[in-house]
């Protein structure tokens, strides 16, 4: 009787302990990656290769989505703003929403599903096919050789991708508002330049994208390294990477926004 | 993939990213306007009410931006607002110039309007403008209008 009552409590306790243990394991993993990233900088060619896979190959999806997001913002912004006779403010709207929020957040979400999932699958599969163990046998540190360069490659790529997303998005807004609809070009740019501050808006956007880059790559690498070495384990880890890093991006975005733009 | 091709692509990627950042800072943002902060002089002015004026608001003379509001403080001895502003060294103004808080457009942001006076001596760094006009507070304006209307109504009844 008492046993049956205690069972759900015991399950809750086990889940909590598991969650805390996993968090601690992930933090230690992250610390190890940072401590052993010396190799990444001594053999920078490894990082360059990862920048190619995580950054250069993500360019097309980032640029195309940036263009479309900017164009949609331009259209929707114009629809609403012209009711109040201030259609020129569409430039401000597009630039502020892109540099502050949409640029870093949407680029990070795309980065998580495009590059993060690939990292998890790659490392998970390396583990499943015992390549990681083979490296350990050869006295090659897999964290320094495999995980470190991927971490730094993703960390370097992410802010650059977010900046390109924002820049292309502003251009998309310009295409719709000025070229297609015919908002005055001078007012479009000058109102934008008046409203966007390079420190408050653009630099904060860059800080956000760096934080998201750390979060996405750390989650992706940990999930890959921690994946059970089976086909099912790798597939679950890949799914978990996308879900966890998307939630982490959105949660961190709220915290960072609250810290950066609190009633300023 | 061959190493040189890889290097080329990564180089293009990093250069494009930095170019995007520069475009954002210079074309979208106001970095180009903020960089020449070295050659300004600082003056202050006191207002009864600053309305919605904020730091970084422009100071305009004849519609041209000549400086920016730097700091807004409350003077606890005279119970007035003290506004510090940085004005571009290229523009010199007479000491008896007047400042007023104006609004750009119907719903736009508030800025400082600087009206040049007739004094032969120019204002120097650290000095303050004496002639100021406060922001228009809409509630006070409406209150005054209603009061006048009521007064008029009283007159006609007599």
Whether A167 sits inside 8 A of B20 (CB atoms) is yes
Q: What is the DSSP letter of B117?
A: -
Of A52, A170, A194, the CB nearest to B10: A52
- Give the pLDDT of residue A95: 92
- Of residues A191 and A181, which shows the higher confidence score? A181
Whether B10 sits inside 8 A of A56 (CB atoms) is yes
Q: Which residues of A touch B17 (CB under 8 A)?
A: 55, 159-161, 163-164
- Give the pLDDT of residue B35: 45
- Of residues B57 and B94, which shows the higher confidence score? B94
pLDDT tens for B64-84 read 888 888 888 998 998 999 999
Q: How far is A206 from chain B (nearest CA, A)?
A: 9
pLDDT tens for A7-52 read 888 889 999 999 999 999 999 999 989 988 888 888 888 899 999 9
Mean pLDDT, range A140-160, rounded to an integer? 91
Tell me the pLDDT of chain B averaged across its residues. 83
Q: List strands edge to edge, sheet with B110-115.
A: B128-129, B40-47, B80-88, B64-75, B58-61, B110-115, B98-103, B131-133
Confidence of residue A201 (pLDDT cuts 50, 70, 90): confident
The ipTM value here is 0.75
Q: How far is A215 from chain B (nearest CA, A)?
A: 20
B interface toward A at CB cutoff 8 Å? 1, 3, 6-7, 9-10, 12-14, 16-21, 23-25, 27-31, 33-34, 56, 105, 107
pTM: 0.74
Q: Which residues of B touch A163 (CB under 8 A)?
A: 17-18, 20-21, 24
pLDDT-wise least confident of A34-38, A237-241, B12-16, B37-41:
B37-41
Is residue A129 over pLDDT 50? yes
């Amino acid at each position: 009787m008492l046993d049956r009552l205690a069972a759900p409590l015991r399950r809750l306790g086990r889940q909590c302990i598991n969650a805390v243990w996993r968090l601690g394991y992930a933090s230690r993993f992250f610390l190890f990656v940072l401590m052993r990233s010396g190799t990444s900088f001594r053999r920078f060619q490894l990082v360059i290769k990862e920048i190619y896979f995580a950054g250069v190959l993500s360019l097309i999806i980032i640029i195309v989505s940036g263009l479309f997001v900017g164009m949609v913002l331009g259209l929707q912004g114009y629809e609403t703003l012209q009711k109040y006779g201030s259609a020129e403010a569409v430039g401000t709207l597009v630039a502020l929403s892109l540099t502050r929020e949409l640029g870093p957040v949407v680029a990070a979400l795309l980065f998580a599903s495009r590059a993060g999932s690939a990292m998890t699958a790659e490392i998970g599969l390396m583990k499943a096919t015992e390549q990681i163990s083979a490296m350990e046998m050869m006295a090659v540190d897999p964290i320094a050789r495999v995980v470190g360069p991927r971490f730094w490659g993703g960390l370097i790529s992410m802010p650059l991708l977010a900046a390109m997303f924002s820049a292309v998005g502003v251009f998309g807004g310009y295409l719709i508002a000025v070229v297609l609809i015919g908002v005055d070009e001078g007012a479009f740019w000058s109102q934008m330049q008046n409203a966007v501050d390079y420190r408050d808006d653009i630099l904060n956007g860059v800080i956000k994208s760096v934080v998201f880059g750390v979060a996405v790559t750390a989650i992706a690498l940990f999930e890959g390294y921690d994946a059970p070495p089976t086909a099912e384990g790798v597939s679950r880890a890949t799914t978990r990477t996308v879900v966890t890093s998307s939630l982490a991006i959105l949660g961190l975005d709220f915290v960072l926004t609250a810290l950066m733009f609190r009633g300023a | 993939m061959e190493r040189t091709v890889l290097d080329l692509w990564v180089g293009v990627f990093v250069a494009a990213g930095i170019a995007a950042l520069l475009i954002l800072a210079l074309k979208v943002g106001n970095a180009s306007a903020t960089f020449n902060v070295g050659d300004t002089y600082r003056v202050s002015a006191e207002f009864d009410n600053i309305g919605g004026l904020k730091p970084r608001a422009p100071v305009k003379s004849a519609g041209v931006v000549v400086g920016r509001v730097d700091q807004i403080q409350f003077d606890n001895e005279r119970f007035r607002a003290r506004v510090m502003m940085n004005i571009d060294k290229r523009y010199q103004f007479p000491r008896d110039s007047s400042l007023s808080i104006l609004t750009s457009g119907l719903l736009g942001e508030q800025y400082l309007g600087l009206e040049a006076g007739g004094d032969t001596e120019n204002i120097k760094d650290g000095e303050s403008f004496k002639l100021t006009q406060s922001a228009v507070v809409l509630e006070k304006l409406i209150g005054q209008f209603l009061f006048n209307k009521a007064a008029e109504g009283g007159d006609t009844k007599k």
